[in-house]
Amino acid sequence: MRLVYDLREPGGSSDRFYADLSAFSDLVLAEIDLRARDTLSDYANFVRDRLGETPRSMADYSIELLTLGQALCLYAGAVESTPKWAVTVARKLFKMRRKSPWIKPAADLSRAALTRYFLMPNIGCKVTDARESLDRLPSLIEWLQATGEFEQEADRLSNWNDFLGQLPRAEGSLCVVAAADLFHWFAREADHALGSYTRGVPEFLTGPYARRGCREDQIFCARRPVEYHLNMVAAEVMNQGLLEDFERKPHRAVLVPTCMRGSKAAGCCARASEMGLVCTACDPGCAVNRITGRMRSLGAKVYLIPHSTGFSRWLERWQHMPDVGIVAVACMLNILPGGFEMRARGIAAQCVPLDFPGCRKHWSPRGIATGVNEERLVQIVRASRP
């Protein structure tokens, strides 16, 4: 059975992936600039002047436009077939689960049932009603919020909805069509450039995933290869946009997921600190132990963070530490929302995707200790400081 995605060559290195990704990201940004330069410029002015948002790079706005296209192309059909009451209830349940750990299990069970029987059935299907995509956008945003998997993406698309709504009707409609066309182009080109790294996705979806029951992570694990590809490009683009700010920070902290622990993970002796779990070197063969030692020699601290559902809570701790640059290691599908959130919180960060996934919660019933390109981590942590 293949890994769901794997960035490594047979020799075990993901260096070639990063070279391929850099070249393809340049191609993507050039194509978006060619097709939508004026639109992105107008949008940048809108979110700065009308919404009071701190300016982002034009490349960042390009990723947002692709995200809009992805939502329209992959999820608009599901929105059309989902009863409004199901969306309303799912949104309320998602808010409830975040307020109390006591409510979370029951809320997740209810959300799993709603997702399986009402939100998921027509994902990827084309819409059949005659409304323009511009009119469907508010309902699409609500549906994305209801899933609990696209919170950050929905926030960005809400800005686009506000922007498109103040344009002349015909112009707004053309922008939406352009976003969808751009995503179709991206899907074709990304499959050619990056498809070799996601060959395990179809096998996973028709195999282990198809045999699962009613689970809270159904939509998260059901992503198509193109969604992995967008996260890959987002990692490259967002890192470039945040690099200058990151390099100015005098201190570094590296956040790694607990799925990187080795074969003795069940007996991990990591100790709790104010900023997160800290490795105590209990397992000589553990990747976290090795990375902690390497980062310590570079003057950086390493913290383990739990599953991504608690990522926002952990980021709050770093939001108020403006002298620290964060390097976040994450599963590929968490890169885009994580990047959006760190941007929104004003955290100077760099994201590094896991070379392959393996956590028991989502990808492997027995759990596989995951890995990351450690040389890339070293390169990023060594980046210029004051």
Lowest mean pLDDT of 60-64, 74-78, 304-308, name the range.
304-308
Torsion on CA atoms 262, 267, 269, 273, rounded to nearest 10: 90
pLDDT tens string 233-283: 999 999 999 999 999 999 999 999 999 997 778 889 999 888 889 999 999
Q: What's the pLDDT tens digit per position in 110-135? A: 999 999 999 998 888 878 765 678 89
Residue 117 pLDDT: 92
* Cα–Cα distances in angstroms (integers) from residue 54 to residues 79, 344, 345, in the given order: 31, 9, 11
Average pLDDT over residues 312-319: 78
Q: How far is CA 200 from CA 19, 43, 189, 203, 367, in A?
A: 21, 37, 18, 5, 17
The tokens describing 240, both together, are 């470039």
Which stretch, 3-7, 208-212, 283-287, has highest mean pLDDT?
Answer: 3-7
Task: Tell the residue number behind the tokens 């607990």, with chain if given.
Answer: 258
What's the average model confidence in pLDDT over 209-227?
Answer: 92
Mean pLDDT in the chain? Answer: 91
Which string of b and e fits 278-315 if b means at least 16 CB within 10 Å?
ebeeebeebbbbbbbebbeeeebbbbbbeebbebeebb
* Domains, the chain, with CATH or none: 15-230 (no CATH), 248-381 (3.40.50)
Q: Residues 326, 327, 329, 334: is their CA dihedral positive or negative?
A: positive
pLDDT of residue 310: 58
Nearest CA to 164 among 75, 43, 34? 43
